[in-house]
């Protein structure tokens, strides 16, 4: 689906970052993506669906949560893709500032 790795950072103009900064940016991207996708899907769920889905999250059942999403929100992959594209655009737009901050 998508990959959070050095190739992505090069694509975003952040290939010159040091290893620790790269790990930090990738971790930030993952957390931000997870939060934004979760918020978007939660907005589309009924309270009962939220309760059902939270059981998978509380049990750290990634396989179960993906199966549940596939059944109840088959468009969730599109939500992930669109959110990822938006996040990439944001990061790319801030690449110069991120590099400057890392260099200081």
- Determine the structural domain holding residue 19 and report its residue range: 6-103
Residue 1 within a domain: no
Residue 34 within a domain: yes
**Letter string b/e over residues 60-81, b meaning 16 or more CB atoms within 10 A of that residue's CB:** eeeeebeebbeeebeebeebbe
Q: What would the pLDDT profile of 51-97 be if each residue is shown by its tens digit?
A: 999 999 999 999 999 999 999 999 999 999 999 999 999 999 999 99
Residue 17 within a domain: yes
What total number of domains does the chain contain?
1
Residue 36 within a domain: yes
Residue 35 within a domain: yes
Mean pLDDT over the full length of the chain:
94
């Amino acid at each position: 689906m998508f990959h959070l790795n050095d190739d992505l950072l090069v694509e975003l103009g952040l290939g010159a970052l040091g290893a620790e900064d790269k790990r930090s940016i990738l971790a930030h991207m993952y957390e931000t993506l997870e939060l934004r996708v979760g918020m978007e899907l939660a907005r589309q769920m009924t309270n009962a669906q939220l309760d059902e889905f939270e059981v998978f999250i509380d049990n750290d059942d990634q396989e179960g949560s993906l199966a549940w999403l596939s059944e109840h929100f088959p468009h969730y992959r599109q939500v992930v893709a669109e959110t990822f594209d938006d996040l990439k655009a944001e990061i790319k737009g801030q690449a110069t500032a991120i590099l400057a901050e890392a260099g200081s």
